[in-house]
Structure 1
């Protein structure tokens, strides 16, 4: 890929961020502005404010408009991703792309990525360099060969260099790089608050995990009759040596959270409290599993519900499927039990 010599060079290494060879405080919006020029600052979106340098394809997330929590560099357009994005999302992204030389420890991004990460390439590459965390979003349009593979085939090829070679040989394999300065915090002993409860009473056995999530959302987050009320950020920082950053999983389900929610004991005695379920992409429980989930995949779809799963809930009378989570078989199973289903079909 040809590089624009008039565009400032950017290098991120263990020693920090350098723009045109000059050290820049990557956590300071003012320092980034001095190096890149005047940005476009958007109104707060929740707790995040985006600062965007359109001409150089760079944006930074910040909580207070002054301290940058992460810097993103757009390298190329990914037509497949763009087609899935809501039109309003483009406001938060640079209108231009970065065409200069971006390096990690002096190397092109793909060369800096660990071989083990490249061998399992699919949607992104994720790795650390010192106190920096990198997420390289792969160009799904250019790497369509990866996305044409069945999951089983792709998994088998992870044992070889095949997937890595597809990425290495691509003209523009990376569409966006997200660099976040995240020093590893000191390890603290777990408090024990997230140890799974041990109950001496009957508990529910639900075969469908997405349906279990819907039940947990109702009882733990809506009615609040179950506890502790799960918080992925507290959970992540209370794992001792296994502490992790939930946002580093981007759009991937966090395995330890999935395991906790799957094993959490739901007392049979509270099943009668479930009279209505709301299936919405904004449900709190989904943000616990995938904090950056954008609703663009089927992670939480309920394809089917068995009579075994529905039997403990005699008072369930309505399901509002706002997000279109229910598959045809699940809808028929609910109808057989005279449960009214509203919403997308």
Structure 2
């Protein structure tokens, strides 16, 4: 199984496979997990416990341990770096997108995605790696 070096890069890949394509299953559902613990609204719980600036331990542990097959990784042909990705709600349900909590600062894990052809990085998104456009272009990956 592939080993990611940048947790935030892994989250972007998991978002693509789990929440967009629905090929990485079962989908992690923070609401369901927290409801099982008697917590009705995760965002309220997070705010009341001053956890809004962190990835919840439960989510981090799940996604760090999550194994993704090389076959699934090879099928990833595009990625979107956007502060509004679904996965972020399952990691930090009260995150406002205004800080660098989910910034991807390294593109070393591109080697795990041999089929990647296109990257979309919205303004004020989470792709913060230095020299990102040059690194992508050198690998033949188009981006905007």
Equivalent residues of 1:305, 1:329 under 8 A apart: no
Q: CA deviation at 1:257?
A: 0.7
Q: Which of 109, 114, 132 is residue 314 of structure 1 equivalent to?
A: 114
SS for the counterpart of 2:112 is: coil
- SS of the residue aligned with 1:311? helix
1:246 is aligned, of 39, 42, 49, to 42
Partner of residue 216, structure 1: 14
Measure, in 2, the Cα distance between the counterparts of 1:255 and 1:330.
29
* Distance in structure 2 (CA, Å) of the matches to 1:331 and 1:262: 27
CA distance in 2, matches of 1:263, 1:206: 11
TM-aligned CA deviation for residue 324 of structure 1 = 2.8
Q: CA RMSD in A?
A: 1.7
Where has structure 1 moved over 3 Å in runs of 4 or more?
329-332
Greater strand proportion: 1
The 2-side partners of 1:325 and 1:302 are apart by 6
- The structure whose residues are more often helix, as a share, is 2
Please give the residue correspondences for 1:1-345 in structure 2 after superposition, counting only pairs within 5 Å. 203-238=1-36, 246-247=42-43, 248-250=45-47, 251-252=52-53, 253-306=55-108, 309-322=109-122, 323-327=124-128, 328-342=130-144
Give the Å deviation of 1:314.
1.5
Distance 1:255 1:329 in 2: 31
Q: Is the 8 A contact 2:83 2:125 kept in 1?
A: no
Q: Higher relative contact order at CA 8 Å, sep ≥6: structure 1 or structure 2?
A: 2
Note if contact 1:319-1:341 (Cα within 8 Å) is conserved in structure 2.
Answer: yes
Aligned residues: 135
For structure 2, the residue ranges without an aligned partner over 5 or more in a row are: none
Q: Tell me how far 1:338 sits from its aligned partner.
A: 1.5
Q: Return the alpha-carbon distance in structure 2 between the equivalents of residues 206 and 315 of structure 1.
A: 16
Q: Greater CA radius of gyration, 1 or 2?
A: 1
Q: TM-score, normalised by structure 2?
A: 0.84
